Structure 1
Amino acid sequence: MTINVGTTDRILRAALGAVLLFLAFFSGLPAFDAGIVKYGAAIVGVVMLVVAAVRMCPIYSIFGIKTCRV
């Protein structure tokens, strides 16, 4: 497992993950009342936070993309 997510990418992913989790569970917006949208946003938010934490993106690995300095 090689690191392929850089610092800026990591910060953006963590922020997006936190925003999606907030929208899914605490925003009270009508768009997030539907179960599929709420839990879809929650799953994507958790995946974003996990990728930010481990600094390894499987999709980046498939396409050979690296946003970190080596």
Structure 2
Amino acid sequence: MTANVGTFDRVLRLVIGVLLVIAPFATDIAMFQGQVATIVSVVVGAVLVLTALVRVCPLYSLLGMRTCSS
């Protein structure tokens, strides 16, 4: 697959993804007291980390978007 995630987008996805995966377990924020919110946060975070690592975003592919220059 052709890379469609640029460097800035990749770093942003990685940082936000890691924060979303860690936040439910490392903080005492009321939003994460429910099991559903914790699961959603971890899944969304994992997807962001995965797309940052492989540099391919399926949604970008569907929409014909690219944030990388090559």
TM-score norm. by structure 2 comes to 0.95
Q: In the alignment, which residue of structure 2 is the partner of 1:62?
A: 62
TM-score by length of 1: 0.95
- For residues 9-35 of structure 1, give each alpha carbon's deviation from its aligned partner in whole angstroms, at most 9, with x where no partner exists: 000000000111121221121210101
Query: d(CA) in 2 for partners of 1:25 and 1:50?
Result: 20
Q: Does residue 41 of structure 1 match 2:20?
A: no
Distance 1:38 1:21 in 2: 9
Q: Counterpart of 2:36 in 1: which secondary structure?
A: helix
Q: How many residues align?
A: 70
Which segments of 5 or more consecutive residues in structure 1 lack a partner in the other structure? none
Q: In the alignment, what sits opposite 1:9?
A: 9
Paired amino acid for 2:57? C
Runs of at least 4 residues of structure 1 off by over 2 A? none
Percent identity among equivalent residues? 39
RMSD across aligned C-alpha pairs, in angstroms? 0.7
